[in-house]
Amino acid sequence: MVSSISTIKYNLSLLNQRNEKVTYQMSSGEALQYGSDNSQQYNQILSVNNNVKSYSSILERIKLSTAYNTTSDTAVASMKTSMESIKALVTKALTATTSSDGKATIADEIESLKEGIYSLANSNTSGQYLFSGSSSSTQAFQKDATTGKITYAATNDNKSVNVETGSYSTQGVNGIELLYYTKNTAQVGEDLTFDENEIILDKNGNQYKLLDNDNDGSYDGLYLNGDNSNTPLSITDNGDGTYTVNNSTTTALQSKHSIFDDLDEIVNALKQQDSSGNAITEDEASTLLSDALEKINTAYDTMNITHAKLGTRTASIENYESIVQTKLTNFNLLQENYSAADLTALAIESQSLESTYTALYSTINKVNNLSLVKYLS
């Protein structure tokens, strides 16, 4: 009799354990209460959950990057419109019928358009500057409070966005790509002449900067990435605001010229003055305007190329967005399949457990009655 009671208690304990799990599964909708319930299934669930988390994060970054690029595209399109207006105004200024007053008015218009481009070049979204490369928290272009001169103040690289596990795509374009154009190129062993306002890059994207280490008013050389611990490239001061360097690196060097410098030159020429404010002749001004128009055409072509590059980068990221969205949908389905309890099967099992409970308690009652009869007799 004692053995029968122990067996019944053991079976009741097993029944209670199973009923607890079924109750949990039916109330929570989850297939497993503990990892030990089914270690293989639990590991599958963990793997799928990690993939869902990873691809959800990737998709969010891709969407932010797409929005970033779309805003950049709008800003570049507006800059191109301003450049087209500037080209038309310079062409008009070069006609014989444009008076000095007319040229002064055109100068004011171009100055206003330049300020518009400067503002667009410093566009930002959520505190991130669109054209600052990887240093997106830094304002792309700065204006000297005294001279009004505009220079690029950020990095010459670009941000990368995680578009797939272990894969990255380039986001946006930087200010050098957009608003600087190649003026001169020197292959290895050749001389490169440039002015101090130009940016010097090699074919690998490294920047060389003029540094005056001892603050004596003269530059000591071109330093790789502006690091004065590096051995500099020796330069020759040509005495006219330009410098010459022999390219002793292992790749081509390029001098990048700023659109803003050209616009300043145009405004000065329209006012018949040089960069120092000294008066120049009408013929000298016309020559400067003609040269500047060619530079503006080159700058506009560079802007067009960069705009197309931005479009290609955006299309690549958007393509990954579709791929990642499909993968995430599939992982969500797997997550549901692995994690979700089979409520239909559980309902059937619950009914079976109820029947088993009824039968077991009936047995317990019979055992108890037999024990009572034996006791009375």
Per residue in 65-86, pLDDT tens? Answer: 999 999 999 999 999 999 999 9
Distance CA 62, CA 55 (A): 10
Low-confidence ranges of the chain (pLDDT < 50): 1-2, 342-343, 346, 350, 353, 372-373, 375-377
Q: How far apart are CA 89 and CA 104, in angstroms?
A: 11
Sign of CA dihedral 140, 316, 306, 176: positive
What pLDDT score was predicted for residue 375?
Answer: 45
Q: For the structural domain made of 43-181+258-340, what CATH number should be given?
A: 1.20.1330.10
Phi-psi region of 172 (alpha: psi -120 to 50; beta: other; left: phi over 0): left
> C-alpha angle 208/214/215, rounded to 5°?
90
Pairing of strands 124-125, 235-237: unpaired
- The structure tokens listed for 344 are 């239909």
DSSP of 290-348? HHHHHHHHHHHHHHHHHHHHHHHHHHHHHHHHHHHHHHHHHHHHHHHHHHB--HHHHHH
- pLDDT score for 376: 44
The pLDDT, as a whole number, for residue 343 is: 45
The neighbour count for residue 11, using CB atoms within 10 Å, is: 13
Q: Are strands 242-246 and 207-211 parallel, antiparallel or unpaired?
A: unpaired
Domain ranges of the chain: 2-29+341-376, 43-181+258-340, 188-251
Q: Tokens in use for 217?
A: 């008013």
Per-residue pLDDT at 14 = 61
Query: Hey, what are 242's tokens?
Result: 């330009």
- β-strand partners of 185: 254
Counting every residue written for the chain, the total comes to 377
Long-range contacts of 100-105 (CB under 8 A, 24+ apart): 100/272, 103/270, 103/271, 103/272, 104/270, 104/271
